[in-house]
Amino acid sequence: MAEAPFQRLQRQFAAHLRDPQAQAAPPGIEERRLQIYRDLFYNNIEDCLASAFPVLRAISPDAAWHARVRDFYARHRCESPQFHQIAAEFLRYLEEERGEHPDDPPFLRELAHYEWVELALDVAEEEIGEPAASAGSDELAGAPCLSPLAWSLAYDWPVHRIAADFQPQQPSGQPVYLLVWRNRADQVRFMETNAVTARLLQLIEERPGVAARELLLQLAGEMGHPQPQAVVEQGAAILRDLREREILL
């Protein structure tokens, strides 16, 4: 089925708005009107990305930032019509299409992911409900459950510390573990943690329904700790703190 003339016109107009340097505008449209549309569409996208990635925007020189956004705007094909998904689309562009650019900091993709996580949790539709009543005095007999609104993350770069006055050029040398979660008050929170806590949270996800004591003893075995009971006692305090923060249910 042949494309109708108005469809060709729409396609040409859209192509020009996305990439005015490479795509000619449809004939017969006043340049002043074209410029209004070019600015309107681009500024909406740029404002959305600047709000979603405030640290990345703050540390990026204007020329580098706008070149990055315009490349995304011209090349990337979004898969979602929802405006709040533009940040996720920009992250996908950075990870899959951007490639290496001399103006990009080495931590670009990890910083963008870290900033996107806050928005993703803020708009997530999952709910954690009200806290359940205590099942008994032995808190280690129960099976801990990770909140669906809690993400345990590991980065090569200290993304939570990056700012205008701190832009490392080499990775940390060891993973940077972070917890990001949304509590019952719909507040997104961040916390730096360590490899032991990150592994404990991984075990909780991998072994649903298993008692906390058994998980902590497994963790002690993996660590080769000479006093497993000490790990259990310290782990109980960690689990209690995570429950109070509404990371565990």
Q: Are residues 79 and 3 in the same domain?
A: yes
Q: Do residues 192 and 212 touch, judged by C-beta distance below 8 A?
A: no
Q: Are residues 249 and 150 in the same domain?
A: yes
Domain boundary among 104, 122, 157: 104
Strands of the sheet containing 188-192, edge to edge, are 150-155, 176-182, 188-192
Domain boundary among 54, 80, 104: 104
CATH of the domain at 180: 3.90.930
Query: Cβ of 212: how many Cβ atoms within 10 Å?
Result: 24
Q: Are residues 162 and 71 in the same domain?
A: no
Domain boundary among 53, 82, 104: 104
In the prediction, which pLDDT does 131 show? 63
- Cα separation of 159 and 155, whole Å? 7
Q: Are residues 248 and 148 in the same domain?
A: yes
> Is there a domain that residue 87 lies in?
yes
> Is there a domain that residue 116 lies in?
no
- Cα separation of 112 and 94, whole Å? 8
Q: Which domain holds residue 152?
A: 143-249
Please tell me the total count of domains within the chain: 2
- Cα separation of 41 and 50, whole Å? 15
Q: What is the pLDDT along the chain (249 residues), one digit of tens a residue?
A: 677 888 888 888 888 888 888 888 888 888 899 889 889 999 999 999 999 999 999 999 999 999 999 999 998 988 877 888 999 999 999 999 999 999 999 999 999 999 999 999 999 999 887 766 555 557 898 999 999 999 999 999 999 999 999 999 999 899 999 999 999 999 999 999 999 999 999 999 999 999 999 999 999 999 999 899 999 999 999 999 999 999 998
Q: Are residues 154 and 61 in the same domain?
A: no
Note the helical H segments in the chain.
Answer: 5-18, 31-52, 54-59, 62-75, 86-96, 108-123, 195-206, 212-223, 228-244
